[in-house]
Amino acid sequence: MFTGIITDIGTVRGVSRAGDTRFEILTTYDLVTVEIGASIACNGCCLTVIEKGRDWFAVQASAETLSKTTLGTWRDGTRINLERALRIGDELGGHIVSGHVDGLGEIVGITPEGESQRFRIRPPKALSRFIAPKGSVAVDGTSLTVNEVDAEVFGVNIIPHTLAVTTWGKMRVGQPVNIEIDMLARYVARLTECTQS
């Protein structure tokens, strides 16, 4: 489990596509404290550390993961949001995030709002009903509050701090993003379906 509070920006330093795809990721994490088998959210996708060095760790992704997330587009030099798994007693600064990406969205607009930036994102149609104003959503692993929902597009406001310490400062219109809907929204929708049938 994660909270959607990004704690490092990693850089892909190697991609090996033999069977499952292996990624090597540079990080500033103290990897002495990261065990083999630990989970790290990489752009919101929960991945398992299979090897590590002084300043890098390796993960593997299946064809299914590559097809359902942005991982299939990663190349050497790709910058990604990182978050280590939540520990009991850690502060819940964002919202509960599982690291299981629900689908790919697309950034369709970026406009300045004071010192912040308003991003407009189009999620897959199947996810639109789970996204509500003032609700939570994880986009590329970042816990965000939904400002507005218009038809099939939602808006989020990214403050200067978040722009500086995540990959959001380099995002562009047309860029695909990983979306994980709020876990509570998922279960409320499921309960509603069950009571209506």
pLDDT tens-digit map of 60-96: 999 999 999 999 999 999 999 999 998 776 766 677 8
User: Does residue 168 share a domain with residue 114?
Assistant: yes
109, pLDDT greater than 70? yes
32 located within any domain: yes
What CATH number did the domain enclosing 110 receive?
2.40.30.20
What pLDDT band is residue 176 in, cutting at 50, 70 and 90? very high
User: Which structural domain range is residue 71 located in?
Assistant: 8-84
Q: How far is 169 from 110, CA to CA, in rounded Å?
A: 11
Identify whether residues 180 and 107 lie together within a single domain.
yes
189 falls within a domain: yes
**Domain end residue (candidates: 84, 117, 133):** 84
- Do residues 53 and 120 both lie within one domain? no
Number of domains forming the structure of the chain = 2
Torsion of CA 91, 94, 97, 99, to 10 degrees: -90
The alpha carbon torsion through 179, 182, 183, 187 (nearest 10 deg) reads -110
